[in-house]
């Protein structure tokens, strides 16, 4: 049996490959570039999930397990025009091509990382996995479309596919939206908040994501969908106050009314001076938690990391990268 990770050079993929390798598993990393410092025990295949000729290199077989992590996200060179097409190109078309290769190889098991952004602005909290998906932006829309392709594959050729919808995945080595925050804290500058900061903004550690994925595989990839998030997250204000204290920073929190800040962020995004993307700032002042009870019961899984430990681990990783 092989464990094949599309997007295996990314943040979650790199960690997952390392954990599987430590277990002595046969691991194949499939990506556009080889991860730095890749273990010699790992097999690397250069490829693009949008290209059938690249996917044929995998020679997928019935007992393989595929972890589909290849995706475009809100980091890197996100265009400010035609974003739906840009995200869909990889997140939807790439998923479709991969499923065609899986069908041809009669592969039975797949783990897919979707996103909490498929819900848009939640009508209630905590959000239940059965709640309506109403994405408000191109990334969330692309993930909803990818989920539907997976569900159809499960019906049409018996694929066992687990869908995870995680909150913000963070840890050492993953910055993204946190980069701007960490730069302010390191410099001791004021940290603006969208709103009062009394809302909770749940996260999930990369380590907890990987243990959940492996738990799903052990159970033959039940469909879910399954939520991934921490337990009992603090308010944003509590979280950032504690982070600045641990960091020894002089930064103070600066609450800015959302009714003032959101139009400014929207204007900046429209002229390619993006500080936060609309899908990010639209929910930045909302109490937004995912209900993870179905995941704990269905997979026998529970998160280990707290939000405070997750963000501090990410901050110390940021300092080491300087």
| pLDDT tens digits along 105-132 | 999 999 999 999 999 999 899 999 999 9
Per DSSP, 16 falls in state H
Rounded to whole angstroms, the Cα distance separating 280 from 120 reads 10
Rounded to whole angstroms, the Cα distance separating 115 from 184 reads 27
Rounded to whole angstroms, the Cα distance separating 243 from 171 reads 14
> Which pair of tokens denotes residue 263?
């139009």
Strands of the chain, DSSP E? 2-6, 26-31, 43-46, 65-68, 109-113, 160-166, 168-170, 191-194, 203-205, 226-228, 253-256
Q: Which residues pair with 285 in a beta bridge?
A: none
Measured CA angle at 301 (ends 298, 307), to 5 deg: 125
Residues taking part in catalysis: 139
Residues of the chain with pLDDT under 70: 76
Is the CB of residue 105 less than 8 Å from the CB of residue 65? no
Is the CB of residue 203 less than 8 Å from the CB of residue 311? yes
For 256-279, the pLDDT digits (tens) are: 999 999 999 999 999 888 889 999
Smallest CA-to-CA distance from 318 within 131, 187, 133, 152 is with 187
Secondary structure class of 211 (helix, strand, coil): helix
Domains of the chain, first to last: 2-171+202-231+289-304 (3.40.50.720)
């Amino acid at each position: 049996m092989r464990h094949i990770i599309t997007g295996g050079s990314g943040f979650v993929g790199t960690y997952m490959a390392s954990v599987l390798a430590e277990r002595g598993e046969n691991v194949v990393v499939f990506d556009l570039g080889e991860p730095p410092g890749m273990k010699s025990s790992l097999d690397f295949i250069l490829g693009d999930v949008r290209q059938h000729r690249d996917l044929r290199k995998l020679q997928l077989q019935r007992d393989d397990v595929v972890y589909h992590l290849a995706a475009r996200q809100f980091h890197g060179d996100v265009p400010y025009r035609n974003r739906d097409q840009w995200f869909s190109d990889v997140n939807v078309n790439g998923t479709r091509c991969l499923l065609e290769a899986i069908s041809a190889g009669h592969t039975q098991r797949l783990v897919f990382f979707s996103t909490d952004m498929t819900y848009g602005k939640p009508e209630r909290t905590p959000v239940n996995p059965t709640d309506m998906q109403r994405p408000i932006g191109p990334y969330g829309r692309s993930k909803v479309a990818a989920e539907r392709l997976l569900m159809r594959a499960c019906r049409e050729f018996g694929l066992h596919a687990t869908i995870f919808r995680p909150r913000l995945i963070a840890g050492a080595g993953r910055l993204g939206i946190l980069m701007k925050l960490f730069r302010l804290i390191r410099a001791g500058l004021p940290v603006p908040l969208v709103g009062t900061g009394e809302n909770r903004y749940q996260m999930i550690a990369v380590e907890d994501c990987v243990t959940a994925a492996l738990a799903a595989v052990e159970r033959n990839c039940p469909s879910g969908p399954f939520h991934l998030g921490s337990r009992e997250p603090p308010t944003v204000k509590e979280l950032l106050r504690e982070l600045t204290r641990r960091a020894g920073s002089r930064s103070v929190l600066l609450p800015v009314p959302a009714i003032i800040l959101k139009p400014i962020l929207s204007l900046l995004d429209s002229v390619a001076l993006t500080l936060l993307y609309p899908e990010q700032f639209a929910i930045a002042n909302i109490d937004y938690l995912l209900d993870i009870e179905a995941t704990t019961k269905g997979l026998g899984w529970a998160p280990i990391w707290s939000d405070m430990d997750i963000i501090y681990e990410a901050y110390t990783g940021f300092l080491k990268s300087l």
